[in-house]
Amino acid sequence: MRTRRTRITSRSRNIEITENTVITDNIVITENTVIAEKTVITENAVITDNIVITENTVIAEKTVITENAVINDNIVITENTVITKNTVISENTVISENTVIPENTVITKNTVITENIVITENTVITENTVIAEKTVITENTVITDNIVITDNIVITDNIVITENTVIAEKTGITENAVITDNIVITENTVITENTVITEKTVITKNTVITDNIVITENTVIAENTVITENTVITENTVITENTVITENTVITENTVITDNIVITENTVITDNIVITENTVITDNIEITENTVITDNIVITEQAL
């Protein structure tokens, strides 16, 4: 069944539309396109050259799909969406209204992309990912399985985000960052360029992590923390709220740093350290393993 008022451009050829397809008013479908069974395409859609749309797909009004795109089974694409050339969208995906998906993007199965999303070229988004409204993802980004990215997120060039990660609202992640498995990043966080955050890390709200940071597995960084450039924080570390850690600091495994701590540049804090609230540790300090530093301490350079 096809409605009568469908328009196929006069230059079109090699178009195949299979059984049980519904195509409604004012549609443009151009050459070398295949539309498989049980597909619904609604009004004012434009589908250009060399497109393959497979079964049980719904494409809503005012959608534009450009050349060499492949849209696989059980896809829902809602109104005012633009899908550009050489894009592959695989099965059981939902792309909601006012979304732009640029050329050379791959979106794999069971993905949900909500309204007002901008995704730029050469992006790969893999299975079971949810990307919420007003998110911007820029070029050469890879987002792998089981990711949740919530509202108002900006993820810029050359980012890798791997499986089972949650990134909460109003977070910014800038170029060349790598965020690996089982990470939770909460609201209003900024993570800047060349940062690596490894598995099972939790970073809470209002945190700023600047350039060239390495944070390794099982680390917890609490709210209102600032960590500046060229810092390394290794496994099983806990950093609690309102902490400032400045450039070229190294904090190694099994360290606990509690509220309202300031650690300034070129400090080394090694294994099994506990530093409690309202402590200031200034430049060029080394604190070695199994040390406890309690409340309201000031440690200045060359003190240890």
Each residue's pLDDT, cut to its tens digit, for the chain (304 residues) gives 444 344 444 345 788 898 899 999 899 999 899 999 999 999 999 999 999 999 999 999 999 999 999 999 999 999 999 999 999 999 999 999 999 999 999 999 999 999 999 999 999 999 999 999 999 999 999 999 999 999 999 999 999 999 999 999 999 999 999 999 999 999 999 999 999 999 999 999 999 999 999 999 999 999 999 999 999 999 999 999 999 999 999 999 999 999 999 999 999 999 999 999 999 999 999 999 999 999 999 998 755 4
Give the position of tokens 């800047």.
192
Q: What is the structure's pLDDT at 302? A: 57
- In this structure, the number of other CB atoms found within 10 A of the CB of residue 38 comes to 16
Phi-psi label, residue 5: left if phi above 0, alpha if psi -120 to 50, beta otherwise: alpha
Angstrom distance (rounded) from CA 174 to CA 157: 7
Q: What is the dihedral of CA 117, 111, 39, 121, to 10 degrees?
A: 50
Cα–Cα distance, 144 to 161 (Å, whole number): 6
**Is residue 133 within 8 Å of 150, Cβ to Cβ?**
no
Pairing of strands 196-197, 178-179: parallel
CA 112-75-141 angle, to 5 degrees, is 45
Domains of the chain: 1-137 (2.160.10.10), 150-304 (2.160.10.10)
pLDDT of residue 4: 37
Predicted pLDDT at 5: 40
pLDDT for 10: 39
For residues 198 and 182, the answer to whether their CB atoms sit within 8 Å is no
Residue 83: per-residue pLDDT: 95
DSSP for 6-52, please give it: ----TT--S-EE-TT-EE-SS-EE-SS-EE-TT-EE-TT-EE-SS-E
What pLDDT, on the 0 to 100 scale, is given for residue 19? 85
Hey, which residues does 202 pair with through a beta bridge? 184, 220
Tokens of 65: 């799909």
What token pair was written down for 201? 């890390």
Nearest to 87 by CA among 65, 105, 108: 105
Give the model's pLDDT for residue 254.
96
Q: What are phi and psi of 160, to 5 degrees?
A: -120, 125
